[in-house]
Structure 1
Amino acid sequence: MSKSKEILDEKKYNKLIVVLSVLIPVVVAVLFGVKIPNVEPLTFLPPIYASVNAITALVLVLAFIAIKNKKIILHKRLMTFAITLSVSFLIMYVAYHMTSDSTKFGGEGVAKYMYYFILLTHILLSIIVIPFVLITYVRAITNNIEKHKKIARITFPLWLYVAVTGVVVYIMISPYYA
């Protein structure tokens, strides 16, 4: 594929990337404040979506190993699976918060500061990573491999951090679920 074709293919996705990068956090924030009345709280979801985060982290590491070993097809499949897992996490997370009250962290002292630091960085980076994931994916599917590699070096650690800290946040707050 020629360089100009790659750029054209990539450009057709840019508007969608911008729209999704803004729309996803806004919709999540809005839905986070919406409570569905007369619906059984989905209190069983937090350990499931925490497990999805753990699996996402594992899949990201496996995809990294696959590409380092030149297993491109396996890498593509694992990355597509990681995106699917992240989307399923988001759906479950929003569904839980639309049917259940937020759980307050009950720890004190250093644990409280650690929890809020991890939570805050997790939330901020989960928003920041959205365009990185989308751009990285588009560069792969448009066969712009050199640019894909460059941004993947940033996307991978950000996404891995978000996946791992999602599990850590769950572990730290799980004793306080009602």
Structure 2
Amino acid sequence: MQNIENEKKYNKWIVVLSVIIPLAVAGLFGINLRKLGFDVEPLRFLPPIYATINGLTAVVLIIAVTAIKNNKRKLHENLMKTAIALSVSFLLMYIAYHMTSDSTKFGGEGAIKYIYYFILITHIVLSIAVIPFVLITYVRAITNNFERHKKIARITFPLWLYVAITGVVVYVMISPYYV
């Protein structure tokens, strides 16, 4: 019972962050500093870096699940903190890139165009949806509510892994069209 009470202390923060992060990204995504007259260089070097970070996140998530299945709790904990840090790093670089660069249009045609947009849209939707799942899963771990942690982690893991992998796929598919 104490663990659930400890969890509840974090619920407001989970809700606030789950709303503010997507809104902030959407708001900042719409701001292009160059178009506003700021003399900034486009950060064109960032997309391959943040795509790599997405790939690393996927690898770290898989290793973390393997670690916990092998009862290596401390390793799992450290890997999950690393995955969160990687995701935050990705987000900051993604925002910085889009605040200094024009959006890149996908140039593929035919079936590949529909595949790209399906992957992109599901990636975006699930990247928003996964935020509260990651936060709730993390809170349940730090409050030692491991049974509830395991239950939601079974949902969080595949969502987060999908977002990380499709982030790389989206980059690979659009990279030929970067200016």
TM class, shorter-chain normalised?
over 0.9
- What do residues 97-138 of structure 1 show as CA deviations (whole Å, max 9, x unaligned)? 000000000000010000000000000000000000000000
Alpha-carbon displacement from aligned partner over 1:8-49 (angstroms, at most 9, x marks no partner): 110000000000000000000000011112100000000000
Give the match for residue 26 of structure 2. Answer: 29
Give the 5 Å matches for 1:1-178.
Answer: 4-36=1-33, 37-178=38-179
TM-score of the superposed pair, with normalisation by structure 1: 0.98
**What percentage of residue pairs aligned between the two structures are identical?**
74
Unaligned runs of 5+ in 1: none
The number of residues matched between the two structures is 175
Equivalent-residue separation in structure 2 for 1:87 and 1:14 (angstroms) = 20
In the TM superposition, what is the alpha-carbon distance from 1:165 to its structure 2 partner?
0.1
Q: Separation in 2 of the partners of 1:38 and 1:108?
A: 35
**In 1, distance between residues paired with 2:126 and 2:32?**
25
Across the aligned residues of Structure 1 and Structure 2, the Cα RMSD in angstroms comes to: 0.4
The SS at the match of 1:90 is helix
SS in 1 for 2:141: helix
CA distance in 1, matches of 2:40, 2:9: 41
Q: Which sits farther off after the overlay, 87-96 or 28-37? A: 28-37
**Which structure 2 segments of 5+ residues have no match?**
none
Measured after TM superposition, the shift of residue 5 of structure 1 is 1.3
The alignment's TM-score, normalised by the length of structure 2, stands at: 0.97
